[in-house]
Each structure stands twice: as structure tokens, then as C-alpha cells.
Amino acid sequence: MNFMKKKKHMGIRIFCALLFLGISGSVMFSIYKLSAENGAQSNLRSEIVTEKIKQEVKTRLESSEKGMQLSEKIKYYVIMHSPYGSDWNSNIRKLAHFSIYFALACGIYITLAILGVNKTLRFLLTVGICFCFAFGDELHQRYTGRTSSMKDVYLDTFGALVSTCIWTVLSWFASGISLLVHKVNEMYE
């Protein structure tokens, strides 16, 4: 009976690992496809997204006095702390770099967790895979007529690092709760 239970759980783990591996592969494919666009296509896509975001901010925030104040605070913060100042398009492009590698790291980390890779190796593999993919992606951009930048690799890796740190802390927390529950169960047996 116990063997059958373990076999069933292994099948579920393999299915879940393949599911998250597929999600990670889809994110990687999306990154590759976006990088394959020439500079003009990529810039046009960014400008369209930027204009939609600006319109959404204007519609939602600037319709009330508090919203106007929050909008001005956000604009001030972005201008003061972003290397691109008030250039919305550049800021949105860099946020997209960070975000997509944040998502990629989520998929990779969860896949490795399902497969039972220990936390330290999981952390290193996730960040390492994301760094290597970001580096390869920037090299790929050279052949599409776009510029490649190590700053983008660092930003991509930073997005992956933040995601991996969050997942690692959540994993430690979950392990702590599991250990606590196990000890409480032992006390009452």
C-alpha cells in the first residue's frame, strides 16, 4: 500500500515539474521572440505599452485629489531615482527586463523545488540559469541589429535574484512550519 502511495505521489511530482518546466520554457521562448524583433519593432511595441500605462495612470490616479498627489509623488520618485529620469519608455523597458526574469526565476525555482533539489543548490542553479540565459539573449540581440548591453544582463539577473530570494525565504518559512507541525505531532503521539 505504501509503495502505491509513493508511486502516485511521484507521478504528481513529475507532472507538476513538467508543468512548471513548460511555463519556464514558455517564458524563455517569449524572451527569445521579443529579442528577435528588430530595434524599430521593439521600440514601437514599448511605446504602445508605455502610452497605455500612462493613460491608465492618468485615468485612475488623476481623477481625484489624492490620486493627483500620489501621481505626483510617483513621478517625482521615478525622476529622482531612475537613471532614465522622466523617460517613461526607457523606464518601462527596464521594468519589463526585471519582470520577465523575475517570472522566469519563479518557474525555474519551483521546478527545482518539486524535483527535490536542496535549497542552496536550487538558489544557485536558478540565478545561474537566468544569468546564462540573459547573457545568451544579449548576444542573440547583436545578430538582430539591436544593441546588447551587460547592464541589461545585470538587470535581468537582479530580477531573477529578487525572485529567487523571495522563494527561498518562503521555502525556509514553509520548512519551519512543517518542522513545527512534525514536532507537535510527535508530542501528541
User: Is residue 82 situated within a structural domain?
Assistant: no
User: Is residue 52 situated within a structural domain?
Assistant: no
Distance of CA 108 to the CA centre of its chain: 10
- Asked if 95 and 74 touch (Cβ cutoff 8 Å), the reply is no
User: Is residue 168 situated within a structural domain?
Assistant: yes
C-alpha triplet 61, 66, 71: angle, nearest 5°: 45
User: Is residue 53 situated within a structural domain?
Assistant: no
Q: Is pTM beyond 0.85 here? A: no
Q: What is the pLDDT of residue 135?
A: 96
Where does residue 110 rank: exposed (0-12), middle (13-18), buried (19+ CB within 10 A)? buried
User: Is residue 28 situated within a structural domain?
Assistant: yes
User: Is residue 23 situated within a structural domain?
Assistant: yes
pLDDT (tens digit, 0 to 9) for every residue of the chain, 189 residues total? 455 556 667 888 889 999 999 999 999 999 999 888 887 788 888 888 888 887 887 777 777 888 788 878 877 777 777 776 677 778 888 889 999 999 999 999 999 999 999 999 999 999 999 999 999 999 988 887 788 889 999 999 999 999 999 999 999 998 888 888 888 888 887
User: Is residue 155 situated within a structural domain?
Assistant: yes
Count of beta carbons in the 10 Å neighbourhood of residue 134: 25
User: Is residue 135 situated within a structural domain?
Assistant: yes
Q: Could you tell me the residue range of the domain that residue 146 belongs to? A: 2-38+89-188
Q: What is the DSSP letter of 145?
A: T
Number of domains into which the chain is organized: 1
